[in-house]
Structure 1
Amino acid sequence: MKSNAETSIASVQVNESNKLYSMQKEFEENILPFLSATQKAALIEIDGLAKSVSWFKVGTDESYLTTTLITQFDVFIHVLTTGGIRIPVHPSILASASSVLKNIIDHRQNKNSDNNRTIQILGVPTEAVAIFVRFLYSSRCTEEEMDMYGFHLLTLSHVFSVQLLKQRCAKALIQRLKIYDAIDTLQLARLCDASELYFRTMKLVSANIKFVQKTEGWKFLQENDPCLELEILQFIDEIESRRKMRRKRREEKRLCLQLSEAMECLEHICTEGCTNIGPYDIESPGKKKKVPCQKFATYPGLQLLLRHFSTCKRRVNSGCYRCKRMWQLLQLHSSICDNPDLCKVPLCRYCWGIRF
């Protein structure tokens, strides 16, 4: 005769078998007929990954879906989607892929009710949830799936802290940025703390603000999210300020280069002479014709200033603009001259003495 322990074990096995049969029956009658081909394929792939934790292709026939998915329901927990679909998954796989799911599973591991063996992922399409669960097993996601469910996958990856998927989604959305949905992408990037996606989208919005303001997303933003609108306007203002600063720095650099060249040209004219202007102790231009300097772009203007400065009757005190410019150049030269006693630039020693 069987012992009480053996009888109890047999009774438990019968109850588990009856429970499994009723679950299979419910799945075949209430869920399977309403699944699309894509959903069936996704569930089959998840089941295959759950058994071998590797990727392989299987058929999409309903007999396989019924028998293989239901045979091990007693060791699975379920992910419940918005469409009412229950996706069987291994808790250990989910826990290893997501710290958030691990906390949820650990919190419910001591509870044996059916509700505590179900994780609800609502608010996104069932296909997106199936792709998300498959990614937890295989770390794979196709470009077509990113095109269709990139927004949803980014949301799921942020909520459940799956950093690898989050990075891939952000990269894919950056490559697919469009003006018409830029505001939606910007809002999602801010909510999901996707900094690179946020910055790239903000640059796109700022560069095409006139077109963005005509979209429905911008109208919605003005009515419902004035803080983000303010961030966009501040970002545009900051970019414009930086552009002005860069232009100012370029102008200052250009001016410094011109002044440096003018100092070299002034020393060259006063030391060696050039064409019909130069120091008195240099051979006169009539005896030996000199060619104008080609390496100094400021030579023509500086030559005219020197001629005017030497013959002007009004000079600086009378308000001559050209004489003031020449005087400023002479003062600048004296401020950088190392040997004013031997320097041949006019008034160098005088300006150097005034300075000290």
Structure 2
Amino acid sequence: MSTSSPATPSASPRTLASWYASVSPVLENVIDRPRKHRSSERVIPILGVPYDAVLAFVRFLYSSSCTEENMEKYGIHLLALSHVYLVPQLKHRCTKELGQRLTIENVVDVLQLAKMCDAADLYLKCLKLVANHFKVVETTEGWKFLQDHDPWLELDILQFIDEIESRKKRARKHREEQRLYLQLSEAMECLEHICKEGCTSVGPYDMEPGHKRRPCSKFSTCQGLQMLFQHFATCKRRVNGGCLRCKRMWQLLKLHSSMCDEPDSCRVPLCRQFKLKMQQEKKRDEARWKLLVKKVVSAKTISSLSLPKRKREEELGEARSTTPPPNGIRSFRL
């Protein structure tokens, strides 16, 4: 490149030199370097890229613009030149344009260039494209070349893909756990509902057996609990862990007791007894139960926040209008 380049409009060499120096600090250092002969023309060699790419680069230095055609043909070369000569405006433009033109065939080449040119946004975008289409990308010539000549970058890509898969597994596990805690939270609500108000087939001892009730809003869960109650009341193997269904019922009753703040007035069977037993025995799994209670309460809170405001107000009004049944032996009707 000459300070009187044909790629720029007519201007004196000194004016062009000053302009190039103001745009690129690298060119400024080259231009300010002393010459052997004062009369000789100042020439700055730009090697390793096509001549037309150099012309497009020089035009950008002078006009701060680049045609779409030049960007499509020489975007990779212009990114390299913008990095070497520290032209941030051009680098930003190239990064954006190359990111929009990524394909399966060129993504590995652009990825390598983005790493060398410290183009973090473009590098990440390339990594994501490779990770999302890895089976296809690994059949390309670019990937084969990468495996032969840059094993460290290959390792970075594989680690990135592995991290994405691990993150997906953690997110999937978290969603499954939250779903379980939400189900337990709903089961606790249904347990109190059955023991305090009664549902279609099971209710407290002081409620008339013939009293017809419509299915509640959470009947799918409530129905399962009613069937569990009915089995629990008649099963002869419910003690000593002889029955899996009864064991599940014991666990639900214990979980309720761990969460209940009013064991003396609670109508759920064995609530107060479980509370006293846990306080006396201090079992080794107490910390695990506390953690379970914390997660179930958290799931219930998140679920309640997701309800529409009007529905929450209606539920709150119903809860206030319901008079608690009289205290007595905690029992239930079959």
**TM-score normalised by length of structure 2:** 0.79
Displacement of 1:142: 1.6
Once the two structures are superposed, what CA deviation does each residue of 1:255-303 show, in whole Å capped at 9, x if it has no partner?
Answer: 111111111110000000001101110122x2x3212212354112211
- Residues 150 and 316 (structure 1), Cα distance of their counterparts in 2 relative to 1, 3 Å cut: farther
- Residues 296 and 215 (structure 1), Cα distance of their counterparts in 2 relative to 1, 3 Å cut: same
**3-state SS of 1:294 partner:** coil
AA in 2 matched with 1:225 = D
Which among 339, 346, 356 is matched to residue 262 of structure 2? 339
Q: Which residue of 2 aligns with 1:153?
A: 78
Q: Which residue of 2 aligns with 1:249?
A: 174
* Gapped regions of structure 1 (runs ≥ 5): 1-42, 52-71, 77-88
1:309 and 2:264 matched: no
- Residues 296 and 112 (structure 1), Cα distance of their counterparts in 2 relative to 1, 3 Å cut: farther
* Gapped regions of structure 2 (runs ≥ 5): 280-334
Following superposition of structure 1 onto structure 2, how do residues 129-208 of structure 1 map, counting pairs within 5 Å?
Answer: 129-208=54-133
- Distance in 2 between the 1:163 and 1:109 partners? 28
% identity of equivalent residues: 61
Q: Which residue of 1 aligns with 2:223?
A: 300
- Residues 109 and 278 (structure 1), Cα distance of their counterparts in 2 relative to 1, 3 Å cut: farther
Following superposition of structure 1 onto structure 2, how do residues 220-231 of structure 1 map, counting pairs within 5 Å?
Answer: 220-231=145-156
Q: Is the 8 A contact 1:158 1:166 kept in 2?
A: yes
Which among 4, 23, 27 is matched to residue 97 of structure 1? 23
1:349 and 2:272 matched: yes
Displacement of 1:47: 2.0
Q: Which residue of 2 aligns with 1:270?
A: 195
Q: RCO (CA 8 Å, sep 6+): is it higher in 1 or 2? A: 2
Displacement of 1:328: 1.0
**TM-score normalised by length of structure 1:** 0.74
**3-state SS of 1:119 partner:** coil
- Distance in 1 between the 2:35 and 2:214 partners? 95
Q: Which residue of 2 aligns with 1:219?
A: 144
Once the two structures are superposed, what CA deviation does each residue of 1:63-115 show, in whole Å capped at 9, x if it has no partner?
Answer: xxxxxxxxx5xx35xxxxxxxxxxxx811111100111111112236862637
- Residues 316 and 186 (structure 1), Cα distance of their counterparts in 2 relative to 1, 3 Å cut: farther
- Distance in 1 between the 2:188 and 2:51 partners? 75
- Distance in 1 between the 2:219 and 2:27 partners? 72
- Residues 226 and 45 (structure 1), Cα distance of their counterparts in 2 relative to 1, 3 Å cut: closer
AA in 1 matched with 2:207 = I
- Distance in 1 between the 2:110 and 2:29 partners? 29
- Greater mean deviation of Cα atoms: 312-321 or 255-264: 312-321
Q: Is the 8 A contact 2:27 2:85 kept in 1?
A: yes
Greater C-alpha radius of gyration:
1
- Distance in 2 between the 1:113 and 1:192 partners? 36
Q: Which residue of 1 aligns with 2:9?
A: 47
Q: Is the 8 A contact 1:261 1:296 kept in 2?
A: no
- Residues 296 and 133 (structure 1), Cα distance of their counterparts in 2 relative to 1, 3 Å cut: farther
Displacement of 1:145: 1.2
Q: Which residue of 2 aligns with 1:19?
A: none
